[in-house]
Structures are given as structure tokens and as C-alpha cells.
């Protein structure tokens, strides 16, 4: 712990875990470029550390989100089926696309969702009538003294997005929240806080499925990964607590900015 590089890695894990828990992303989408571009970590070790860090963020933030009743577990389970199939499909089809094509298609997808998310940031995905029926996969959330109902819309679209998220997670070492949260919030009628909490609940499982493979191949650089995960654990708890205090619209705008920034970076990688 006295080694400055360990402290730097703990701080890096903490920063990405904080934002990851705040937005339900896991933080891998920031951690991989930070480790590779800023700290010179080899890409495989960075992806492996990212997957473990995503598990840390997802597990720690879920303890807070479950307690607040924000996780829609049934919706998460249904989408997780598509995500896990996507993970397998991603592994099988990875060789059909070049890395440049992968980066570019990912960049275009993210940029499009960032613009849509910003355009729809003013919309509220809740029904004011507390007696309204939420349906099989919908739910209720409490904001102060008021209870709101939300219903799941366009579930097939959410399933396809989860399939794609799983594939990208397997290919790039992310949890897939970068796709799930904006799709659930902007297209499937899920309030942003529920979308983020439900995504965080799912991505730990998505990341674990790939993490075992990386670990068995010896791609996990133990001290590096441990330092990053150690930073992510407490910061994720803080991020999950903070998400309650940030306005829903601010979360959506922050998410839109993150999507566009990541899209530009991915696009540059693909050129």
C-alpha cells in the first residue's frame, strides 16, 4: 500500500467505481481506457481488471439499491437471459468482425443513444396515479412521500439491447450497462434510477461469466486488479448513495455526455 503506483490504482478504481455506481454502468467503460492509455497496462490485463472491478461495483452498489427498493429483480432476470446468450454469441462471432469495425459500430451505437438520451432527458417514465397497475415486469418507486408506478414498454427491444450488451461485454470487458441503462430509460419506460440500479444488479453476473475465463487463462494481474477492486468497493457504495441525491434529469444528461465522450474515443480507436 506504500507503493505510489498501488495508491494510484486504488484511486483509479475508486473514481471509475464512483461514476459507475452512480450511473449503473460498473465503470469498465472508463477503467479500460484509463489503464491502457494513461497507465500503460496491457489490454488483456486491463480488461480482466475491469471485469473484476465491475463485479466489485455491481455487488457493493446492489446492497444499497436493494435496501432502497430500486432494483427490479424480475425485469433484471428476464434481461439477464438475453445478456448471457449475447455473451456466448459475442464470443462465437468475435472473429467475424475486425477490431476497427467493432470499435466503429460501437461508437455509432453509443453516439446515437447519447443524442436520443439527451433529447428525451425531460421525459418522466412514471405514472402519477399510485393505484395504476404496473403489469408483470413494472413496479413502484417511492420519491419522498409520493409513490409512482412505471410500466415496462417495448420489452422485445430491451431484450435485443441486452443481447447486444452481453456480446459487447464479452468482447470488450465491460458489464454492458453502457447500453442497458440508456435503452431501459429512453425506450422501455423505466425510471433512470431503477434502470441504473437494475443494470448494476445484472452486470455483476455478466462480468463474472467472462471473469472466470480470464482468471483461468492467467490474464488477471493480481496486485493491479486487487488495487483497482479495493478502490472500487467503497467508492461504489458512495456512488450508489449519491445517486439518490442527484436529480433524475441530471443523471440522464450526465449519461448522455458519457455516451458521446466514450463514442468519440471508440470512434478514434476505430479510424
List the one residue from 11, 77, 115, 264 that touches another protein (CB under 8 A): 77
From the list 30-38, 182-190, 223-231, 248-256, the region that binds another protein by CB under 8 A is 223-231
- Phi/psi at 149 (5° precision): -110, 145
Binding-site size, another protein (CB under 8 A): 54
**Least Cβ distance, residue 6 to another protein (angstroms):** 6
Binding of residue 230 to another protein (CB under 8 A): yes
Instruction: Identify the residue among 18, 32, 34, 62 touching another protein (CB under 8 A).
Output: 62
Site for another protein in 18-57 (CB under 8 A): 52, 55-56
Rule CB under 8 A: say whether 92 interacts with another protein. Answer: no
**Per rule CB under 8 A, is residue 208 in the interface with another protein?**
yes
Three-state SS annotation for the chain = CCCHHHHHHHHHHHHHHHHHHHHCCCCHHHHHHHHHHHCCCCHHHHHHHHHHHHHHHHHHHHHHHHHCCCCCHHHHHHHHHHHHHHHHHHHHHHHHCCHHHHHHHHHHHHHHHHHHHHHCCCCCCCECCCCCCCCCCCEEEEECCEEEEECCCCHHHHHHHHHHHHHHHHHHCCCCHHHHHHHHHHCCCCCHHHHHHHHHHHHHHHHHHHHHHHHHCCCCCHHHHHHHHHHHHHHHHHHHHHHCCCCHHHHHHHHHHHHHHHHHHHHHHHC
Asked if residue 78 binds another protein (CB under 8 A), the reply is yes
Q: Which of 141, 200, 258, 266 binds another protein (CB under 8 A)?
A: 141
**227 is an interface residue for another protein by CB under 8 A:** yes
**Residue closer to another protein (CB basis): 24 or 87:** 87
Residue 135, interface with another protein (CB under 8 A)?
A: no
Q: Is residue 63 a contact point for another protein (CB under 8 A)? A: yes
Instruction: Give contact residues for another protein (rule: CB under 8 A).
Output: 1, 6, 52, 55-56, 58-60, 62-63, 66-74, 77-78, 80-81, 84, 87-88, 134, 139-142, 147, 194, 204-205, 207-213, 215-216, 220, 222-223, 225-227, 229-230, 233-234
Amino acid at each position: 500500500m506504500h507503493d505510489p503506483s498501488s495508491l494510484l490504482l486504488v484511486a483509479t478504481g475508486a473514481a471509475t467505481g464512483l461514476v459507475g455506481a452512480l450511473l449503473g454502468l460498473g465503470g469498465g467503460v472508463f477503467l479500460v481506457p484509463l489503464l491502457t492509455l494513461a497507465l500503460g497496462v496491457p489490454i488483456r490485463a486491463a480488461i480482466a481488471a475491469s471485469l473484476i472491478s465491475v463485479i466489485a461495483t455491481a455487488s457493493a452498489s446492489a446492497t444499497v439499491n436493494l435496501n432502497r427498493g430500486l432494483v427490479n429483480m424480475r425485469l433484471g432476470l428476464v434481461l439477464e437471459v438475453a445478456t448471457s446468450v449475447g455473451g456466448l454469441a459475442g464470443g462465437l462471432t468475435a472473429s467475424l468482425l475486425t477490431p476497427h469495425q467493432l470499435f466503429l459500430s460501437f461508437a455509432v451505437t453509443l453516439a446515437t443513444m447519447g443524442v436520443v438520451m439527451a433529447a428525451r432527458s425531460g421525459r418522466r417514465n412514471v405514472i402519477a396515479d399510485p393505484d395504476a397497475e404496473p403489469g408483470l415486469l413494472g413496479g413502484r418507486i417511492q420519491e419522498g412521500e409520493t409513490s409512482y408506478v412505471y410500466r415496462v414498454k417495448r420489452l422485445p427491444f430491451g431484450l435485443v439491447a441486452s443481447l447486444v450488451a452481453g456480446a459487447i461485454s464479452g468482447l470488450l470487458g465491460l458489464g454492458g450497462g453502457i447500453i442497458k441503462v440508456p435503452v431501459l430509460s429512453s425506450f422501455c419506460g423505466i425510471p433512470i434510477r431503477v434502470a441504473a440500479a437494475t443494470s448494476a444488479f445484472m452486470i455483476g453476473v455478466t462480468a463474472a461469466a467472462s471473469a472466470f475465463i480470464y482468471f483461468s487463462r492467467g490474464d488477471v494481474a493480481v496486485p493491479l486488479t486487487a488495487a483497482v477492486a479495493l478502490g472500487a468497493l467503497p467508492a461504489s457504495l458512495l456512488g450508489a448513495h449519491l445517486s439518490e441525491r442527484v436529480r433524475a434529469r441530471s443523471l440522464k444528461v450526465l449519461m448522455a455526455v458519457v455516451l458521446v465522450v466514450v463514442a468519440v474515443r471508440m470512434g478514434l480507436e476505430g479510424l
